[in-house]
Structures are given as C-alpha cells and as structure tokens.
Structure 1
Amino acid sequence: MLSRLIHNERTPRNAKPYCRCWNENRPRLWESNGGCACGEHADISEWRWEMPDSTGTSWVMMCPNQKQVTFHPFYSSGTAAVKGDTALVRDYHYYWEIKMLTEPYGTDIMVGLGTNKVNMADSLFTFTSFLGRDGESYGLSYTGALRHNATVTRENVGFCKGSIIGVKVDLWQGTLEFYLNRKSQGIAFYNLRRHQALYPMICSTAAQSSMRLIYAASWQASLLVDAAKILAASVNGEKSLFLPPGLKHTLKSQFWLTLPNHKCILDVDDATPDVSPTSPTKPESSMSLSSSLKRKHWHRRW
C-alpha cells in the first residue's frame, strides 16, 4: 500500500551525490575504489547479487565478488534486472546500500525488492520501469518515482552518479523505507508481511550503467534494536552525548541502528564500523540461518 498521495510530477528533482570516488566519465567495472570513505571498506555483506539464468553478458556483467553489476555493457535493447541470492527472513530488520557508479539516464534505473514470482527476464526487449509494475515488486526510480502495483508517486528527489541508495525493510512490522545519501525518505510501503518471500532487486534500461552493493546487514527484531533506534532519534545533535562503552560500541559497529542520525552519536571521522570479519560471533538467540546470512559484524553477544 502506498503511504503517500501522488504529488505534482513537475516537482524538481535535486539528486545529489554522496560519494565522489567515482568521478570519471567511464564506467568502473571491477576495480577497487581505494580511499573511499563511504563505509564500503567495511565489507559487510550478508548476501550478493545473483546472475540471472536467462541472460547473457550482453545484458548483465557481474564482478567476481557479485557485488557490482553493469547492465547492458555493450548496448541496450530493453530492461535487465538482477536480484539478491538470499531471501529475506520474516521478523528480521534489513538494511542495504547501493552506490550509483554511473550517471543514470533513459527510461528507468530502479532499486527495490520483489517476490520470487517476478519474472526477471520478461522485459529484456522492452524498455520499462520494471519494479512496481504489479503487486509483486516495489521500486524507487532514479527520477524519484515510487512504484508498486502499477501506481506511481513522485515525492522523492531521486538519485544520480555518486548517490547512495539505502533500503530498509522491517519484516516485523512489514514496512519498506528508502534512504537517499543516508537520509530517510519516510516509509514508502506497508503490508510487506503478506508476501511469502522477498528479494532485493535492481534494474536498468541504460547502456553501460553500473551499481554496487556496498553494505548489507540484518538484525532479528528485539528490544535492543528498538531501543537503539529510539535513543539515536532522541539525541538531537548532541555529539558529546555520553554513552556506556558497550552501547557505544554497538552503535559504532552497527551504524544502521542509528540512521539517519548516526552523526549525532559519533563524530564523522569516528563513524567507520569496527569490523573483525575473521572472528565473527553470533547471538545465542538468533535462529539458524544459511551460510550466506551468517553475520560478519557481531562483536559480542547481545
């Protein structure tokens, strides 16, 4: 269900970049971006993109670590889409971020999610806004349009080259919220719990368009998660707020819990997640998950 009414489509789009690491005119395919300070170096990714079975390299190219996708690397003849390799688990909170590496243009480039009923290859020769065409998918367009069940709203500013698009899914309450450059755009859709399985998805009609998954994490619904979000929202810009060491460590290493107010808890230069991927631990209360969902970012038991 859409949470907002349709606004005037002539509302100006003021998309802005967050990260200027990708400032060249050509697509960057597999290269590491070196000194990027947007959090990509933390290497927290519980899932990766899955190469569609029905498409070849003329529609989609994927880097070896399955994080970066280049759509239509030679020329575009329609709409290509990919989805995550792991379904979202009910009663968990999810947050992932995608960096737009090339300037978006053309019919549409979208970020969102959908069910396993979405046919990822049925628009290969059609230029369309793929996500949100029916009730099985949800999408945010680079133009700022929100789409679901063939209904469109235009309230968001959209995204451009260098933008970071965040997707927050709460499968405890069944809500979907988009972030642009780590600022919340408000809850876009409700009632997601009606779906049996949901997957992250991206799509593009633009030739040589490229996107990269830079962060993907999840947490089981708990009082600690709710308390951390409430605390972050109540800080009101007090950077000097004193926090107990354990709680400060939690908010620092799992910055998603404090979005969009993470700068209120930690100084900008101190906001890098403290990750130790070689020695992960797992909370005793967590359910058993597949290997692709094992946490790389736990530092202590909750």
Structure 2
Amino acid sequence: MAHGFCDCWIPTDTDEEHCGGHTPNLVGCQCGDNEGGHGYSWQWEDTKESDSLVTDRDILFHSTRINGTSIVKGKQSLEPGMVHYWEMCVSSPTFRPDVVLGIGTQDVSLGQCANRYVSALGSNDHSWGLMFSGRIQHCGEQLPYWQNISQGCLVGVYLDRSRGHLEFYLNRKGLGLAYTNVPVDPSVKIYPMVCSTGSITAIRLNNCTSVQDTLQLRSFQALAKKQPDQVSILRQIPGFRATLKSYWFLYLLFHYFE
C-alpha cells in the first residue's frame, strides 16, 4: 500500500463523525494546494443528484446517510485539444468500499446508481476510473494497475484530449498510461468525476490546470522528462520564465523524483 504524500495530520473516523458537515475542518493539510499559483480552472459542482456536500474544492460524500453510490463532477468540461491535470487529496480512511476517481462524459447520469452500491465510474463506456484498490475500470472491466491507495495520498489525473490518453499519478509518481481511448471528438464533453459508496468520505481538489496542446508544450514535456536539470536552467532565464510558468505541472511531475 502506498504511503501518504506528506506527514501532516489527517482525520480519523472519530474526527470525521464530529466534523459537522464542513469538509475544510477535515483537511488541515495544504501540501500540494494550488502549486501553479494561478487559481483553479474548475471546481466541483454541487447538485441535488448527488448525496454529498460540496464546498468548491471539497467533497464530503454521504454526510448524513448512506444510500447507494454518489457521483460528483466538475463544473466545467475538460476541453478538447488541450492537456488537463489535477490532483486530489484522499483525506478519508481508505478501507471504505468503492471510491473511484476519474472522468466521465456528459452521458453519465450522476444519479444513475443512487440506490445501488457499485464502483460507478468505469462501469460503462462513458467513464474511466481508478479505484482505491489500485485497479482501473472502463466498460465494467477491471484491470490491475497499481497498489492500494491509502489515506493521505495525492492522486493526480493527466488527461490528454488531443491524443485521448489518460494517466494517473500517485504522490506525483507516474503510474503509466491507463487508457488511450478517451474521446477526442469536440462534440463529446468530458468532466472530472469522483464517486463513493462510503459514509463521510472526504476528497479535496488540491490543484488543477488546463493548457493548449502546442509544439511548445510537447517540446517542454520531452525536455522535462529526459533532462529536468536543463529545464531548471531555462526557468532562471527571464525570457523563458513566464512561458514555462504555464507548464509548472509537467516540471513538477518529472522533476519531483529526480
């Protein structure tokens, strides 16, 4: 099982039971928050279809009762022709069943599993998910991908809508390409999503960004992956500093474990 991202305090079951329905009270740690310094390109959407309490970046699933599976999605769709990256902190004990992080199209109904206890994301061809067990799922097929996700982990999602690629990161370590069949068709809207069947499950959106797919992006991506030390030098040059600032997440991911 993977260890947490940092050594900060994380809530216990007792803490969660006494949180009073306010998710910020559950997440004192700010490690990884808004790493790029540009604000948040999207936040979670609060809808009546989901049995959850949503406060911008925080989700508290099933805060008053457990009644099937709750699904929450982002307010904005993830545009085609762009590269998207976001990270979420898992602040709840992860023995709880069927917590899945991932993406889904506009055809995913947030209330489709309201009376059933299932791993909803990835259960059909409209969604793709990473389960707390470390398995990935699409079209109902579960495949081994990584080890269990533990409390305090930082889970990153890298979506390339130009190529249709989806990859997950755990504590900023790449886990490898998960799927290559995400729609690139502009008519298909894709949203970040999370689902849970467990009571008082807390998830925080730590950061998110979206950038246009350009030759400049791909060049920086290749350089950051193969020669992160050279990127560090470029970041000190005034003419490059502003440009590379937009690609902070690529440098962060490839440089973090150097």
Q: TM-score, normalising length from structure 1?
A: 0.74
Match of 1:135, SS state, is: coil
Q: Secondary structure at the match of 2:256?
A: helix
Q: Which residue of 1 aligns with 2:122?
A: 132
1:38 equivalent in structure 2 = 32
Give the conservation status (yes or no) of the 8 Å contact 1:235–1:241. no
Structure 2 residue 245 is matched with structure 1 residue 258: no
- Distance in 2 (CA, whole Å) between partners of 1:241 and 1:88 is 29
Q: Give the counterpart letter for 1:16 in structure 2.
A: H
Match for residue 242 of structure 1 among 221, 227, 233: 233
Which residue of the other structure, out of 221, 225, 232, is the alignment partner of 1:233? 225
What RMSD over aligned residues (CA atoms) do the two structures have, in Å?
A: 2.4
**Share of identical aligned residues, percent?**
29
Q: Aligned equivalents of 1:76 and 1:171: distance in 2? A: 35
Answer yes or no: is the 8 Å Cα contact 2:27–2:91 preserved in 1: no
Distance in 1 (CA, whole Å) between partners of 2:231 and 2:158 is: 27
Q: 1:23 to 1:34 in 2, by over 3 A?
A: closer
Question: Alignment length, in residue pairs?
Answer: 246
Q: 1:223 aligns with which of 199, 215, 218?
A: 215
SS at match of 1:242: helix
Q: 1:78, CA displacement in angstroms?
A: 1.3
Q: For 2:98 and 2:53, how far apart are their aligned partners in 1?
A: 18
C-alpha distance in structure 1 between counterparts of 2:217 and 2:27, whole Å = 32
1:185 is aligned, of 160, 163, 175, to: 175
| Other structure's SS at 1:50 match | coil
Structure 1 residue 34, shift from structure 2 partner = 6.2
What's the CA shift for 1:162? Answer: 0.8
> Deviation digits for residues 7-45 of structure 1, max 9, x if unmatched?
xxxxxxx22210333423123612496673323474631
CA contact (8 A) 2:11 2:27 kept: no
The residue number in structure 2 matching 1:175 is 165
Query: How has the CA–CA distance of structure 1 residues 161 and 248 changed in structure 2, closer, same or farther, with 3 Å as cutoff?
Result: same
Residue aligning to 1:121: 111
More relative contact order in 1 or in 2 (CA 8 Å, sep 6+)?
2
Name the CA distance, whole Å, in 1 between partners of 2:27 and 2:63.
20
Query: Counterparts in 2 of 1:92-171, with a 5 A limit?
Result: 92-171=82-161
2:2 corresponds to which residue?
Answer: 15
Distance 1:35 1:97, change over 3 A: closer
Name the CA shift for 1:151/1:205 in 2 (closer, same or farther; >3 Å): same
Q: Give the match's secondary structure for 1:36.
A: coil
Q: 1:227 to 1:264 in 2, by over 3 A?
A: farther
Counterpart in 1 of 2:70? 80
Return the index of the structure with the highest Cα Rg.
1
Contact between 2:90 and 2:202, CA under 8 Å: does it hold in 1? yes
**Hey, what does 1:293 align to over in structure 2?**
none
Whole-angstrom distance in 2 between the partners of 1:132 and 1:35: 30
Residue 256 of structure 1 deviates from its aligned partner by 0.9
Q: Are 1:200 and 2:195 counterparts? A: no
Where does the alignment leave 5 or more consecutive residues of structure 2 unmatched?
none
Structure 1 residue runs of 4 or more that deviate by more than 6 Å after TM superposition: none
Q: 1:43 to 1:19 in 2, by over 3 A?
A: farther
Shift of 1:247: 2.9
